[in-house]
Amino acid sequence: MPVMRRSRTVSPAWFRAHVLPLETWSSWDEAEADLLSDPDQQRRIDELAADLTASGFEHPVTMGRDRWWSRRPRVRDGIHRSITAMRLGLDIPLRFGEPSMEGYGEQDEYTVTAATGSFDELMDRVFTLASFRCADGFWLRCDTASGDSLKGEVRLLLPRRTQRREEIAAELAERLRDSGISTQVTFSAAVAS
């Protein structure tokens, strides 16, 4: 029997007072300051602001309790959407449960190769910049990446978008170049789940 997930829409003020950010941060002020201090995260929030203003939420923010006795739930998926909506004063759709992985069953592997620079910085930038809305409107989210520091290479998994592979590789390469890292990004393989 499928699990029913409760959902509702709340005001930004209610959300800020009753829902905690990810465990990384102790408060919303700390989360917002941390994300906005990073130019790549600022770019992502700016993109989301334009998207939420034009189209609204595609997916609700997912929250859950750390432990059954926890009084306040934490965001499980949607930290950028949460901060963006609070900054814009938009009502926030919520649901309890685990993040939806709809559309993420079939994946494409991409290889990011950098000729020079720090491997740790490359890995960090790939994780930060490899989540964006592609041209067909589907939000890509990178949750899995691995690397070979000797080759200066990162392999990442993104949801399969067969018709958009070249555009996705070009968009990610441009984002990395704009952040100061010159890379080559190529589609590597379709990965069966």
Task: Taking residues 63-89, report their average pLDDT.
Answer: 84
- What angle in degrees, to the nearest 10, is found between the helix axes of 28-36 and 39-55? 110
- Position 100 pLDDT exceeds 60: no
Q: How confident is the model at residue 135 (pLDDT cuts 50, 70, 90)?
A: low
The DSSP H or E segment spanning 139 is: strand 139-140
For the chain, domains (ranges, CATH) are 7-96 (3.90.1530), 107-191 (3.30.70.1560)
Q: How confident is the model at residue 68 (pLDDT cuts 50, 70, 90)?
A: low
Q: Say what the pTM is.
A: 0.61
Phi-psi region of 85 (alpha: psi -120 to 50; beta: other; left: phi over 0): alpha
Instruction: Report the amino acid identity of residue 177.
Output: R
Residues 6+ apart with CB under 8 A from 80: 35, 41, 44, 45, 48
Q: Rounded to whole angstroms, how far apart are CA atoms 180 and 173?
A: 11
